[in-house]
A and B are shown apart, each in its own frame.
Chain A
Amino acid sequence: MLLLEQRVARELINHYVSKKKEREKNARLILDRYGIVTALYNVIWSYIGYSNANYALSETKNPVKTLKRAAPAALILVSILYMLTNVSHQFLFQNPFANFFRSHTLPQYPKRISSAPVVSLLLLSSATCSVLALSVYYPYSSHSQHSEMS
C-alpha cells in the first residue's frame, strides 16, 4: 500500500515537473518572439528619417525630380553602409554580443582602433544631427531662403 502511494506520488511529481518544463519552454518561446519583434522595431527605427525631406519640399529646386532620385538613392546607400557596419562589427569583436558603446566597454574600444575623442565626437555628431534636422525642417516654415538639402 505504501509502495503504491509512493508510486502515485512520484507519478504526480513527474507529471508536475514535465508540465512545468513545458510551461517554461513556452514562456521562453514567447520571450524569444518578443525579442525578435523588438529587434525588428529597433532596426526599422534606425532607418527612420526618410520623411524629413518632405518637410522642406517648397525650398527644394525641382522638388519632384529631386525627391524621386534622392529618396531611393539615400535608402540604398544607407542600407549598404548599415550592412557593412554590422558585418564589420563581427570582424572587430571576438564576442559577437559586445557593444562598444556600453560604458563598460567604452574604455577598451579606443585602445583597439581609435581614440576616445573620436567616440565622443561620433555620439555628439549623430545625436546633434537628429535634433538639428528636426528643428530645421519645422513643418510651418514656408517662406525662408533657399536651402540645400542634406
Chain B
Amino acid sequence: MVGTGIFATPAEIVNLSGSVGLSLFIWVIGMLIAGAGMMTYLEFGTGIPRNGGEKNYLEYVYRKPKFLVTAMYAGYVVLLGWAGSNSVIFGEYILNAANVEVNRWNQRGVGLACVTNAFLIHGLALNWGLRLQNLLGTIKLFILLLIIVSGFAALGGHLKIAKPDNFTNAFAGTTGSA
C-alpha cells in the first residue's frame, strides 16, 4: 500500500489545494474513500477466498456466456498491465536520482530492465523474490518513519534549520470554491 504516492505527492497536494489545512483534510477524505474500497474488497475476498482477485468475482457474477469474462479479464491484465506504467515511472525516478536528464527512451529502458529483473527473480527464485520484497518493504517503512521523526525533531528544534511555522495560519490561501 505504501507506494510512491506518499513520497512524491504531498507537495503537489498542497499546491493543488492551496493551503496546508485543506491538503490535510483532503488526505483524510481520501483515506475514507480508500477505506470504502477496502471494505468492498474485504467483502469479496472473504466471500470467495481464492487466488486471482477480480477474476473470480467477475466469473461468479457473469457465468454466461462461458469464459467471456475470463477472456476479457485476461485481455485487461495482459494489454493494460499496470506493471508497465509503474516501471516507466520507476525509470524516471531512478534517472532523477542519478541526476541524468530524463527522456522517453532512457526511462523506458530502465523500466524494461526493472520488469525483466522482477520476472526473472520471481520466475527462477521465488523465495529470494519474497525476501527481496520484504526487505524493500521494510526499507520503505523505515524511511517513512525517518521522515516523520526528522519532522518532529525539527519541531523540537533539534535540527539546524530555521523553526518552521507552516501551521500558524494553516488555511491561508485555501482555494476559492472549497
- Please list the residues of chain A having a beta carbon within 8 angstroms of any beta carbon in chain B: 28-29, 32-33, 35-36, 38-40, 42-51, 53-60, 63-64, 67-68, 71-72, 74-75, 78-79, 81-94, 96-103, 106, 112-114, 118-137, 139-142, 144-145, 147-148, 150
Contacts and interface: CB of A to CB of B under 8 A. Distances in A.
B119 to A, nearest CB: 6
A145 B126 contact: yes
26 contacts: A29-B177, A32-B18, A33-B177, A43-B5, A44-B30, A44-B33, A47-B1, A47-B34, A50-B38, A58-B51, A60-B49, A64-B46, A71-B38, A71-B41, A75-B1, A81-B145, A93-B166, A94-B162, A96-B166, A120-B94, A124-B94, A125-B139, A127-B86, A135-B83, A135-B115, A147-B130
Given A29-B176, A127-B89, A91 B1 contact: no
Given A55-B53, A67-B42, A75-B34, 7 more contacts: A32-B176, A39-B17, A64-B46, A75-B31, A81-B148, A91-B151, A118-B146
Interface residues of B, number: 99
B51 A92 contact: no
A46 B148 contact: no
Contacts of B122: 132, 135-136
Contacts of A67: 42, 45-46, 49
Contact of A55 (B52, B151, B167): B52
A112 B159 CA distance: 8
Interface of B: 1-18, 20, 22-24, 26-31, 33-35, 37-38, 41-42, 44-46, 49-55, 73, 77, 81-83, 86-87, 89-90, 93-94, 96-99, 114-115, 118-119, 121-122, 126, 129-130, 132-134, 136-137, 139-141, 143-152, 154-155, 159, 161-162, 164, 166-167, 175-178
B42 A128 contact: no
Given A44-B34, A124-B97, A126-B140, A89 B11 contact: yes
Contacts of A32: 18, 175-178
A36 B27 contact: no
A30 to B, nearest CB: 8
A25 B35 CA distance: 35
A40 B11 CA distance: 13
A134 B82 contact: yes
Contact of A130 (B4, B97, B161): B4
